[in-house]
């Protein structure tokens, strides 16, 4: 094989196109399901309108941003970079839009299908999830392979695709994350606490906003996040492959990613269950599908590598196979650790419930569990790095780490499906409640929802772990681009860069947490106003104005999203252009280390508090209404912005900062101050 | 001047000896004050017995540890290193013992003096603080100069002095920190919450343990912490000075430290106030004294440098003068930022109170303030590093950063005095309450105590900032010792080292937080037992068994102290000897970055929650007993282990890890795995 022989790249492109065809067929199938009775349709269409409204307003802001950056890149850099950036932004936004379009239609269909059977409900909800999962990986690989072929393998141009995807991801994660938690907290504070009406009660003016939030945060936001990881890991691996000893290896990331798409498709066929399945059986179904996909990737990769041995030689080919396997294993391990720390069948989360004799001790225990839960994922990533560098050999260098990242993310088509399935099931439960479906339907949607909570936690762990590997690989690509592979410890900029970089995630987390509080406050005021000014809401004589709450959530979350996002983009540019590329390398290192830790801590503390509450609600420690439960409700509320806003946003922060650095590495010179 | 001309070192030794004489005279003066009436003496002697008992038990454990390490070092390394280690441990423990011996006697004398006047109370309490401050700096400089002269300027032997001091510091901070918060929380939970008796009520069996805790945590623990920073910064600067272009500069750290002791002594003479002074006037008094000392150091240093110009040349001499000034300014700035974020006269803390409409929002806001409060100290340290490296010039390298650290710490004699004054004033208030002194006396001790809370917060910020500069300088010395001044980014061990290093402070913080919870639980059980089994406590007919509570606090805090402390010592040794010195360098960097951030966040969030509660207690948001107040009490309790156990322990964690690395750098080779 020659470097300019793109036959294998064309094959990956073909798989991506097949993936898109699968997505379209699956969409037809899911949308063909029965959408329930008139009440259900009405509720669903309110959620659809809200979600569409949010995305429209969000994309309007993003369009301005993307237009400005595209023009700037066109004027200051090459047109190819500008085009890649634009395509990355558009495909990421497109995948997010598609996933959400289906999710807000699958929710009501899941509720309707659950009236028939649990299995039917599972199939609809998981089908919607796999549309999101498959469109993310397919859009990504199609965009990347097209650009790679178009620019004749000049990966530096393709890098901007990742920048475009990252920008969309950051705005989507931060904006969606603020929306979802502000609506959730706002709805609960007035509805549950002040008016004493249950969750998902249609009398609550913020109830639709709350359901919209699940979709914009957990579907669109999560999708954009992982679109970025998937694309970023391929870009980093290809960049490093081209400068490694065997530039032919640059094709490997595309092959592994393509094979992963096939494996994920096959794995998802396994998702079906018995009618009397309990939560454990449901979870086992999804786990089996994920493990099967991982196994298939390893198998396919072995085949591909055997086929490539004439180019790479057996020794090197098998080394890379092991690297891919290391990535797969590490990804599954991190998911498993996350589940361990956040599931209420396990000791850590039960310990939080046990500490609920006072609110303060429950908060302390939750924070401690969050901090502790960082230990094993960090060790896993560290061991994976050492192992892939050792197995890959010194010639491959950081290419091996990047390839392990591609391996970890290769099964994304199915891991993301299990993740994006959650909000659909959650919404289905809400719709079942609001439209007064019978208890047994609600029981089924509850079972599906509860499964979704577990997969959401696992998905978050996976998102963080893969973000770290991607960011490290992108940073290595940046370093190799700038040529500063040796760091001078005595340089006057490295240490300060590290410290300031380490600080950014703390600042970012603080900023996004308080943004949730401010947005929730505006929703609280609107909900209170409606209860005061619209008579007859409580007596169900008059409908609340759902749209007003959605509009306020949209406005305030989009307003709060802008500043932190711009800071994330500006920080590496300012440091790089003023202090020089070495200071920037330090900044990235510091941000990756502290961002990783803080993201794991926040996501897991939030998940564990949430489930500690659920554990108490099963009747432990006095059950619902007890003092333990009251303490757990406080913990859950503290955890909301932790796990759904700040924590996940940090994944993107570290990836975005590294890819911005990589894109602009060439233009930095030695910085204005020339301190290096 | 010749390198082996130790005349200036002898001068520094002389200043240290004068400092010890001052300490002894001051002790005589403070102990000569009236110790109050019989009730007061009785309470005070219970506190004295408790504190002495804790230290005795703690030192017994430490003695075993120190003996084992000394013997091991004697057998495996040079006798000089073993001797230095022993001396470091003994002087650190000695300074802590002395400071605490005086503090538990000055408390009752402060209460008695406050019966006469505010000024008299302030003089006694501050006198006690300056004994702690001066004995720390004097013991340190005497120990260091003696060893330096004895070993003929071979600084590598002297390094172990810092290791000895660090070990004592870690155990003292962790053990004392757990004791103080466990006793505090335990006393409050049963006394205030279950029995409804006020704070410092003599009927509470844990009240003496609570007062003992203030001393073992905030006097002995803080003293040992800063003893280590002071010694460590001098060791690092001297080590780096000897390998820098002008080895004569190695004498500068001793000179600056010695001049600082003189300046601190002169500054402390300014501490007196008008009788009608309010809190602001009291604070102004202490600030004036600190600023005056800082100014004097700059002045004296200018004189010393003018005198040294024949050795260094004007240009270089003045560069170093600026470096010292940079350190002084940075230290004062960090203290000021800490005050800004934690004082209830400022916006951040008031914002926490404002968020108290629900407990969850108050917790979120406090965490956000803590995270935000890391921004400015990090930027200050980063700018101080860039500035000192730039001003110091490329030949001096990291020596400049170390010298800035020495400059920052030079006024420690007085900054530590204002800090160690706090617990004395706090205890004085408790004694005044328990012995039923008149209201106006209690008002005066309250004024002194409230001042102590502010200076304690500032002191914590200063302790963290100086710990970071010291740790960075020690790490630079370690790197220069191992010769790995260039870091290969593609090395298979650097990145994993950074990640694992960054994780250790999270693990350590989680571990110490939960230790407080466990220890508090055993005290709660003991207090409940006493109320149940000793009849007549509530009717004041029978005295509770104070000693039992002290004994339980002692036992459980010492038990909980051992594991985290051993991990802190073992981590760098295991990584260094197994993975090699480069992995260890990464580990140290990661730990310093995340330890710094976490320490600032935890200390300031804790301080801000505490003061948000106090702000509400002044009558804001409904005052005491309101829902806002209840929320703030929860925040304060969450903040207790943050600010008094985990946060401060992290300072020592990062210093101890770096100094252990420096001491054993020579013995590591390239690690067992030889991965570098």
Give the DSSP letter of residue B198: P
Judged against a pLDDT cut of 50, whether residue B294 lies above it is answered with: yes
Judged against a pLDDT cut of 80, whether residue B550 lies above it is answered with: yes
pLDDT in tens, B21-59: 999 999 999 999 999 999 999 889 989 988 888 888 889
Highest mean pLDDT among B244-253, B494-503, B535-544: B494-503
B310 Cβ contact partners less than 8 Å away, ≥ 6 residues apart: none
Q: Which two tokens stand for residue B249?
A: 């500069």
How many Å lie between the alpha carbon of A263 and the closest alpha carbon of chain B?
30
Model pLDDT, residue A676: 47
User: Least CB-CB distance to B593: which of A189, A369, A498?
Assistant: A498
Percent helix, percent strand, percent coil in chain B, to nearest 5: 85, 0, 15
How many Å lie between the alpha carbon of B237 and the closest alpha carbon of chain A?
14
Model pLDDT, residue A489: 67
Q: Which residue has the tokens 């793109």?
A: A6
A596 and B490 in contact by Cβ < 8 A? no
Model pLDDT, residue B603: 94
| CA-to-CA dists, residue B294 to A118, A599, B261, B290, angstroms | 73, 40, 11, 6
User: Least CB-CB distance to A490: which of B365, B485, B596?
Assistant: B485
When pLDDT is cut at 50, 70 and 90, the band that residue B87 belongs to is very high
| CA-to-CA dists, residue A532 to A206, A518, A538, B207, angstroms | 14, 21, 10, 50
Q: Three-class SS of residue B487?
A: strand
B502 and A382 in contact by Cβ < 8 A? no
Model pLDDT, residue A520: 86
Judged against a pLDDT cut of 50, whether residue B599 lies above it is answered with: yes
Q: In angstroms, rounded to a whole number, what is the distance separating the alpha carbons of residues B88 and B172?
A: 14
A472 and B479 in contact by Cβ < 8 A? no
How many Å lie between the alpha carbon of A6 and the closest alpha carbon of chain B?
29
Helical residues (DSSP H) of A244-313, grouped into ranges: 252-268, 279-312
pLDDT in tens, A252-264: 899 999 999 999 9
User: Least CB-CB distance to B495: which of A472, A489, A514?
Assistant: A472
For residue B495, the chain A residues in CB contact (below 8 A) are: 382, 385, 401, 472
For residue B372, the chain A residues in CB contact (below 8 A) are: 506-507, 510-511
A506 and B389 in contact by Cβ < 8 A? no
| CA-to-CA dists, residue A63 to A59, A87, A655, A660, B192, angstroms | 6, 12, 21, 18, 58
User: Least CB-CB distance to A381: which of B360, B499, B641?
Assistant: B499
Judged against a pLDDT cut of 80, whether residue A669 lies above it is answered with: no
Task: Report yes or no: B252 and B410 within 8 Å, Cβ to Cβ.
Answer: no
Model pLDDT, residue B203: 86
pLDDT in tens, A613-643: 989 998 999 998 899 999 999 999 999 999 9
Paired residues of A487 in beta bridges: B487
For residue B499, the chain A residues in CB contact (below 8 A) are: 378, 381-382, 385, 468, 593, 596
Give the DSSP letter of residue B343: -
Model pLDDT, residue A203: 86
When pLDDT is cut at 50, 70 and 90, the band that residue A280 belongs to is confident
Q: Which residue of A has its CA nearest to B190?
A: A358
Task: Report yes or no: A639 and A607 within 8 Å, Cβ to Cβ.
Answer: yes
Among A141, A383, A382, smallest CA distance to A238 is for A141
Task: Report yes or no: B645 and B181 within 8 Å, Cβ to Cβ.
Answer: yes
When pLDDT is cut at 50, 70 and 90, the band that residue A1 belongs to is very low
Model pLDDT, residue A517: 83
pLDDT in tens, A328-365: 999 999 999 998 999 888 999 999 999 998 899 999 99
A499 and B375 in contact by Cβ < 8 A? no
Mutate to test the interface with A, among B386, B473, B519, B636 (most CBs of A within 10 A): B386
Return the minimum-mean-pLDDT range out of A221-235, A251-265, B245-259.
B245-259
Q: Which two tokens stand for residue B72?
A: 């091991």
A365 and B514 in contact by Cβ < 8 A? yes
Helix (H) or strand (E) holding B488: strand B486-488
Judged against a pLDDT cut of 90, whether residue B598 lies above it is answered with: yes
A385 and B492 in contact by Cβ < 8 A? yes
Q: Which residue of B has its CA nearest to A382?
A: B496
Q: Which two tokens stand for residue A45?
A: 């269409």
pLDDT in tens, A284-321: 888 888 899 999 999 999 988 888 777 777 888 889 99
Judged against a pLDDT cut of 80, whether residue A248 lies above it is answered with: no
B507 and A360 in contact by Cβ < 8 A? no
Model pLDDT, residue B243: 78
A439 Cβ contact partners less than 8 Å away, ≥ 6 residues apart: none
Instruction: Determine what percent of chain A is predicted with pLDDT higher than 90.
Output: 48
For residue B368, the chain A residues in CB contact (below 8 A) are: 509-511, 513-514
How many Å lie between the alpha carbon of B67 and the closest alpha carbon of chain A?
32
Task: Report yes or no: A54 and A212 within 8 Å, Cβ to Cβ.
Answer: yes
Model pLDDT, residue B48: 92
Task: Report yes or no: B358 and B631 within 8 Å, Cβ to Cβ.
Answer: yes
Q: Which two tokens stand for residue B569?
A: 């010592």
pLDDT in tens, A432-488: 988 888 988 888 888 888 888 778 778 888 889 889 999 998 998 898 888 877 777
Q: Which residue of B has its CA nearest to A387?
A: B492
In terms of pLDDT, which residue wins out, B141 or B244? B141
ipTM above 0.85, yes or no: yes
Q: In angstroms, rounded to a whole number, what is the distance separating the alpha carbons of residues B380 and A30?
A: 56
Q: Three-class SS of residue A357?
A: coil
How many Å lie between the alpha carbon of B601 and the closest alpha carbon of chain A?
9
How many Å lie between the alpha carbon of B397 and the closest alpha carbon of chain A?
6
When pLDDT is cut at 50, 70 and 90, the band that residue B228 belongs to is very high
Q: Which two tokens stand for residue B246?
A: 């002008």
The mean per-residue pLDDT over the stretch B605-628 comes to: 92
Helical residues (DSSP H) of B77-215, grouped into ranges: 79-116, 118-150, 155-187, 207-213
Model pLDDT, residue A4: 53
The mean per-residue pLDDT over the stretch B320-329 comes to: 94
Judged against a pLDDT cut of 80, whether residue B312 lies above it is answered with: no
Judged against a pLDDT cut of 50, whether residue B1 lies above it is answered with: no
Q: Which two tokens stand for residue B470?
A: 């010291």
B382 and A492 in contact by Cβ < 8 A? no
User: Least CB-CB distance to B489: which of A379, A479, A501?
Assistant: A479
Judged against a pLDDT cut of 90, whether residue B112 lies above it is answered with: yes
For residue B514, the chain A residues in CB contact (below 8 A) are: 364-365, 368
For residue B589, the chain A residues in CB contact (below 8 A) are: 498
Give the DSSP letter of residue A621: G
Q: Which residue of A has its CA nearest to B240?
A: A490
Task: Report yes or no: A449 and A433 within 8 Å, Cβ to Cβ.
Answer: no
Q: Which residue of A has its CA nearest to B389?
A: A492
pLDDT in tens, A148-162: 999 988 888 999 999
User: Least CB-CB distance to B513: which of A368, A375, A517?
Assistant: A368
How many Å lie between the alpha carbon of A172 and the closest alpha carbon of chain B?
22
How many Å lie between the alpha carbon of A427 and the closest alpha carbon of chain B?
25
Model pLDDT, residue A490: 64
A510 and B369 in contact by Cβ < 8 A? yes
Number of Cβ atoms within 10 Å of the Cβ of A279: 15
Model pLDDT, residue B574: 93
Task: State chain B's mean pLDDT as an integer.
Answer: 89
Task: Report yes or no: A88 and A160 within 8 Å, Cβ to Cβ.
Answer: yes
Q: Which two tokens stand for residue A469?
A: 């590997």
């Amino acid at each position: 094989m020659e470097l300019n022989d793109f036959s294998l790249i064309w094959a990956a492109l073909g798989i991506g196109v097949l993936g898109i065809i699968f997505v379209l067929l699956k969409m037809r199938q899911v949308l063909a399901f029965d959408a329930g009775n008139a009440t259900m349709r009405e509720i669903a269409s309110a959620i659809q309108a809200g979600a569409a409204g949010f995305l429209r307003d969000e994309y309007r802001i993003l369009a301005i941003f993307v237009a400005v950056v595209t023009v700037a890149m066109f004027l200051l850099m090459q047109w190819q970079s500008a085009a890649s950036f634009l395509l990355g932004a558009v495909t990421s936004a497109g995948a997010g839009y598609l996933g959400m379009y289906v999710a807000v239609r699958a929710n009501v269909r899941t509720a309707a299908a659950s009236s028939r059977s649990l299995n039917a409900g599972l199939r609809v909800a998981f089908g919607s999830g796999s549309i999101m999962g498959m469109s993310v990986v397919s859009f990504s690989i199609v965009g990347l392979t097209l650009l790679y072929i178009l620019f004749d393998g000049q990966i530096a141009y393709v890098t901007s695709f990742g920048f475009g995807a990252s920008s969309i991801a950051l705005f989507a994660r931060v904006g969606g994350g603020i929306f979802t938690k502000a609506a959730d907290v706002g709805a609960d504070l007035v509805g549950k606490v002040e008016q004493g009406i249950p969750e998902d009660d249609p009398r609550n003016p913020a109830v639709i906003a709350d359901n919209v939030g699940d979709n914009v945060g957990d579907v669109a936001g999560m999708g954009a996040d992982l679109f970025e990881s998937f694309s970023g890991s391929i870009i980093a691996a290809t960049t490093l492959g081209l400068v490694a000893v065997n530039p032919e290896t640059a094709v490997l990331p595309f092959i592994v990613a393509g094979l992963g798409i096939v494996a994920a498709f096959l794995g998802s066929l396994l998702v079906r269950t018995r009618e009397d399945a309990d939560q454990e059986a449901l979870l086992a179904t999804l786990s089996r599908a994920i493990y099967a996909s991982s196994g298939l990737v390893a198998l396919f990769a072995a085949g591909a590598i055997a086929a490539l041995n004439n180019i790479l030689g057996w020794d090197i080919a098998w080394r890379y196979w092991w690297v891919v396997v290391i990535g797969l294993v590490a990804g599954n391990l991190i998911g498993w650790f996350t589940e361990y720390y956040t599931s209420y069948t396990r000791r850590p989360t039960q310990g939080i419930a046990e500490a609920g004799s006072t609110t303060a001790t429950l908060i302390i225990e939750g924070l401690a569990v969050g901090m502790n839960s960082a230990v094993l994922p960090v060790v896993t990533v560290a061991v994976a790095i050492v192992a892939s560098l050792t197995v890959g050999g010194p010639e491959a260098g950081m290419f091996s780490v990047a390839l392990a990242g591609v391996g970890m993310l290769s099964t994304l088509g199915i891991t993301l499906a299990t993740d994006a399935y959650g909000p659909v099931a959650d919404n289905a439960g809400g719709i079942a409640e609001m439209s007064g479906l019978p208890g047994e339907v609600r029981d089924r949607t509850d079972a599906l929802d509860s499964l979704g909570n577990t997969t959401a936690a696992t998905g978050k762990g996976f998102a963080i772990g893969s973000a770290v590997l991607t960011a490290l690989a992108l940073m290595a690509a940046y370093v190799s681009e700038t040529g500063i592979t040796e760091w001078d410890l005595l340089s006057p900029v490295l240490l300060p860069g590290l410290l300031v970089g380490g600080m950014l995630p703390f600042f970012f987390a603080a900023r996004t947490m308080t943004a949730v509080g401010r947005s929730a406050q505006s929703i609280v005021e609107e909900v209170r106003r409606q209860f005061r000014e619209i008579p007859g809401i409580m007596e169900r004589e008059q409908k609340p104005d759902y749209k007003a709450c959605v509009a306020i959530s949209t406005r305030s979350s989009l307003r709060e999203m802008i500043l932190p996002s711009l800071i994330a983009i500006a920080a590496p540019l300012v440091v790089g252009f003023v202090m020089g590329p070495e200071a920037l390398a330090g900044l990235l290192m510091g941000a990756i280390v502290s961002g990783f830790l803080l993201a794991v801590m926040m996501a897991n503390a939030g998940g564990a508090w949430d489930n500690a509450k659920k554990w108490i609600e099963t009747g432990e420690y006095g059950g619902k209404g007890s003092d333990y439960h009251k303490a757990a409700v406080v913990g859950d509320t503290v955890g909301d912005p932790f796990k759904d806003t700040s924590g996940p946003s940090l994944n993107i922060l570290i990836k975005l900062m590294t890819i911005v650095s990589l894109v602009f590495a060439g233009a930095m010179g030695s910085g204005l101050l020339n301190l290096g």
